[in-house]
Amino acid sequence: MFAERFRSHHDAEGSLEALLKKPKGHLGRLFRMASWPAVEKKLQECPRGLPRGIYIHIPYCDRICSFCNLNRKERNNADLDEYAAYVAGELKTFGAYPYIREQAFDTVYFGGGTPTTLSTPQLGLILDALHAHIPLAADCEITVETTQHNLGVKKAAALADMGVNRFSVGIQTFADRGRKVLGRTYSGEKALEDLQALRSVFKGVLGIDIIYSYPDQSLEELQGDAEICISSGIDSVSFYSLMIHKGSSLALSIEKKETKFIRDIEWDRERHHLFYRRLREAGFELLELSKLARPGKDAYRYIHIQYENGELLPIGAGAGGRLAGFGIYSMAPGRRFVSAPDPGYEKYYRILGLLQFGRYDAEKIAGYLGPRAEERVKKKIAEYLDRGFLETLDTGGYCLSPEGIFWGNNIAVDMLQAVVGPLG
């Protein structure tokens, strides 16, 4: 049915944007340029009452993964004290606006880069500013992305004392050969030892990332990763098919034929299904298309706010978000790109986000589009059932099958292609 697999929500979102930009019926521009003074005017008003979170971007890494070409840079001689002070200052500045201080935030996410490239005192400066200037819900989820070699049990305990209650650890694989391919530090055995040490002292939510379908990955290597995920005591695991970013060292190595990488759909599917089914057998449940968790162990509020079109305050150079009806991207200290998205498009992004959770409810989907869309949605659901992409739930509605999860981003875009534009 699909010639190429969308491996991430970003792939699906890019396809949706291309679809919406095509002249079709009433659809026009996705967004228009706006100014920072327009945002500041809105920030003097009362908040809109939407669920909301904060994204804090730390763009530095002390070592670049071979597959990565995202918004990050090597630490080198960067002044991290200065950067931490800048982020803390941003939190103080935003905290003075009524729009920020009059409604609590449900989640805070430190992403990167590698946030734990910053020292404990540097992160402490930011966390102190967060608690001092931003209203946080009593049970606010505060996540820090990290590599293992940038964390350690002492740093983890100190951050937990400052309110961090969720770590996302970039393991990628425990297989030594795979770790070498992906540019990870030290052996798989040491990675497991460190993970178990972290689990023994950290009582919050502990999640890890696993990459499958890397060059020449064997089924035995992936099986080993699955068994460690089950036995190590982690609460959740994000599992991604390797995405090779243009300009990354791995991409260049493949282009030069230094690294052999032949991957087709069947090879990718076999590894996806092996990992997914083994963790489901062990009791893990689907949180979103690329994330499994032990029941009740990981709420992952940040991703819910993202996918449900909540508000996301972006802090730090390279951070993007949406606030008070504006899209905001912080390019560097003192430099922001501001846009005003067309509200008419919000429903399509909301549906795309909704479908990331693997549930297909015709009435709920059509509820964002109006009653005339329901027949189109039901027709698509019948098609997905026939193709084995959906399974019927005992409680009503449908959920994606393992095959449906594999193609989940493609299916979401396919559904939207059927409903975008005028409904006759």
Query: What's residue 236's pLDDT?
Result: 98
Number of domains in the chain: 2
- Identify the residue with better confidence: 136 or 185: 136
Q: Among 263, 281, 307, give the residue marking a domain's end.
A: 307
Asked whether 125 and 91 are in contact (CB, 8 A), the reply is: no
Assigned domain for 292 exists: yes
Give this prediction's pTM. 0.93
Assigned domain for 318 exists: no
Assigned domain for 359 exists: yes
What letter represents residue 206's amino acid? L
Range of the domain at 42: 31-307
Assigned domain for 361 exists: yes
Q: Are residues 2 and 38 in the same domain?
A: no
Q: Are residues 88 and 25 in the same domain?
A: no
Name the average pLDDT for the chain.
91
Query: What's residue 251's pLDDT?
Result: 77
Query: Which contacts qualify for 260-264: CB closer than 8 Å, 24 or more apart?
Result: 260/215, 260/216, 261/215, 261/216, 263/213
pLDDT in tens, 387-400: 999 999 988 889 99
Q: Are residues 195 and 275 in the same domain?
A: yes
Asked whether 147 and 169 are in contact (CB, 8 A), the reply is: yes
- Please report, for the domain that includes residue 63, its CATH number: 3.80.30.20
Contacts of 29 (CB under 8 A, 6+ apart): 342
CA–CA distance from 216 to each of 162, 210, 225 (Å)?
A: 42, 16, 15
3-class SS letters over 340-366: EECHHHHHHHHHHHHHCCCEECHHHHH
**Mean pLDDT (whole number) for 275-282:** 98
Assigned domain for 328 exists: no
Percent of the residues in the chain that have a pLDDT greater than 70, as a whole number: 93
